[in-house]
Amino acid sequence: MKKTAGEATVIVGAQFGDEGKGKIIDAMVPEYDAVVRYQGGNNAGHTVVVGSEKFKMHLLPSGVVRKKRSLIAAGVVLDPRVIKQEIDSLAAKGIKVDEHLLGIDFRTQVIFPWHNARDVARETAAGEGKIGTTGRGIGPAYEDRAARTGIRFGEFIDAKTLAAKIASKTAETGAKSGAKTAANEAKKTLGRIYPDSPDAIVPPAEEIAREYSALGAFLKKFACDACLEVNGLLEAGHRVLFEGAQGTLLDNDFGTYPFVTSSHPIAGGACVGAGVSPRAINRIEGVGKAYVTRVGSGPFPTELNDGIGERIREKGAEYGTTTGRPRRVGWLDIPMLRYADYLNGFTGIHLTKLDVLGGINPLKICFEYQLDGGRAGKTKTSVFPMNSGGFGGVGAAEPVYLELPGFPDLPQAEWRKAAAEGVAKGFSALPEKAREYVEKAGELIGVPILSVSVGPERNEIIWAKK
């Protein structure tokens, strides 16, 4: 491979998603020529605040707000209803999303109503044991991709192919009889696990075909080969930003399985999702909150089920962008970030929502785990103990905390002032104890902290002094 003249940066969620990647990406976009979403779908939710305008997006790459070429790559699962809604709502706010701004790879898998139905039905049937998915059909769409029965964007935008696929897509086992439609297939599966009203949740095939061919006609102009485009951009010396969705601990293989998503949010996911070589990537920047949050079920050793947790949730507005669910909240977990560093190879980390911790005294940081009676041959570990006593059930690993003095609960105007001063002063613009918290976190993770975010606004970021 020829060394490309361009520059590729991957932005990755370092925890369980919702780390504030959208804001960091938005701040970085001006230095880039294109932004690429490489995995996940509308389970993600990015909020970008520009003045009094709040842009909530689930599928569109954050680059659209800055009018930078935005690509949805092959590794994404795309709900056509949702992307149309987002395009329409941006148009209402004066941002015209046309084919010059947005491109969708022809390989991208399309989410259909039977995917949503399967997702919801499975979760309902699981009761207490549910994963707590976003219900957006993400898992089933990726299942169909792996089973090679999915419908890709290139097929979806061709009305004839789409109608034929919907009408005659057969179950892998019933292929020869050719009798089962995709909708029938979904109904049959749903009928087994959700006998009450399968018909109500999967519309008839003809209805799906009608609605989706209209959506296909609308979205057709965005079709592209994002793999070739991205490689071409890099070869020509341009700068490309890869926008990760969800977070490292939700990775399908390396997260807290089975309480994970169905794609690969880790940095390597950018390569397989967009079709670029690992050698093309120059920088990998993690985004982590100054504390930890999680939506949905699964292990969360530093979780706070007390007044402090409640206070952080309220102050940090920790409610899901996609589902509105209250997020679980806990102390900063350094071993989790060290594990994330193994998986991603961070060149730096952006620490977000530091202001939310203002007024809490003392602050705690988990810096290591006490393992189950030393059975693993040692009693402590400084890397997230995924396999201690069977992670995916936390096992007997206990977080060990360091106590740090808190910093004052500053009004937002004060944080804004610190952010403005930070341009010249870097982190020394932070209140002393806040700076100490950031420095301690960076030292324990062993990765440089690149920026600290102290408010939701675009300019409420303090960058480390270069």
* Helix, strand, or coil (residue 3): coil
Which DSSP string do the residues of 323-369 spell out, in sequence order?
T-PBPEEE-EEHHHHHHHHHHH--SEEEEE-GGGGTT-SSEEEEEEE
Other CB atoms within a 10 A radius of the CB of residue 23 amount to 25
Please state the closest distance from residue 58 (CB atom) to ligand IMP, in A: 9
Please state the closest distance from residue 247 (CB atom) to ligand IMP, in A: 7
Residues 6+ apart with CB under 8 A from 88: none
Please state the closest distance from residue 329 (CB atom) to ligand IMP, in A: 13
Catalytic residue, chosen from 26, 33, 46, 144, is 46
CB nearer to ligand IMP: give 245 or 304. 245
CB nearer to ligand IMP: give 9 or 261. 261
CB nearer to ligand IMP: give 358 or 456. 456
Per the CB < 8 A criterion, the answer to whether 169 and 181 are in contact is yes
Q: Which of 464, 463, 458, 454 is nearest to 355 (CA)?
A: 454
Please state the closest distance from residue 259 (CB atom) to ligand IMP, in A: 6
Indicate if the alpha-carbon torsion angle 308, 57, 336, 454 is positive or negative: negative
Q: How far apart are CA 6 and CA 291, in angstroms?
A: 34
Phi, psi (rounded to 5 degrees) for 104: -120, 125
Residue 452 structure tokens: 């600290």
DSSP state of 64: G
Per the CB < 8 A criterion, the answer to whether 63 and 34 are in contact is yes
Contact positions vs ligand IMP (CB under 6 A): 16-18, 43-45, 131-134, 136, 138-139, 245-246, 250, 259, 261-262, 295-296
Identify the bridge partners of residue 119 per DSSP, sorted by sequence position: none
Catalytic residue, chosen from 18, 119, 251, 333, is 18
- The C-alpha R_g of the chain, in whole angstroms, comes to 23
Q: How far apart are CA 127 and CA 129, in angstroms?
A: 5
Residue with the CB atom nearest ligand IMP in the bound state = 296
Identify the bridge partners of residue 370 per DSSP, sorted by sequence position: 380, 398
Residue 388 structure tokens: 């201690």
CB nearer to ligand IMP: give 111 or 419. 111
DSSP state of 164: H
Please state the closest distance from residue 81 (CB atom) to ligand IMP, in A: 16
What length does the chain have? Answer: 466
CB nearer to ligand IMP: give 6 or 17. 17
Q: What share of the chain is helix, strand, coil (3-state, %, to 5)?
A: 40, 20, 40
Please state the closest distance from residue 389 (CB atom) to ligand IMP, in A: 22
CB nearer to ligand IMP: give 54 or 100. 54
Residue 243 structure tokens: 């926008």
Please state the closest distance from residue 8 (CB atom) to ligand IMP, in A: 22
CB nearer to ligand IMP: give 132 or 154. 132
Residue with tokens 């949702």: 82
Please state the closest distance from residue 299 (CB atom) to ligand IMP, in A: 11
Instruction: Identify whether 46 is a catalytic site residue.
Output: yes
CB nearer to ligand IMP: give 137 or 358. 137
Crossing angle of helices 182-193 and 205-219, in 10° steps, is 120
Please give the positions annotated as active site.
Answer: 18, 46
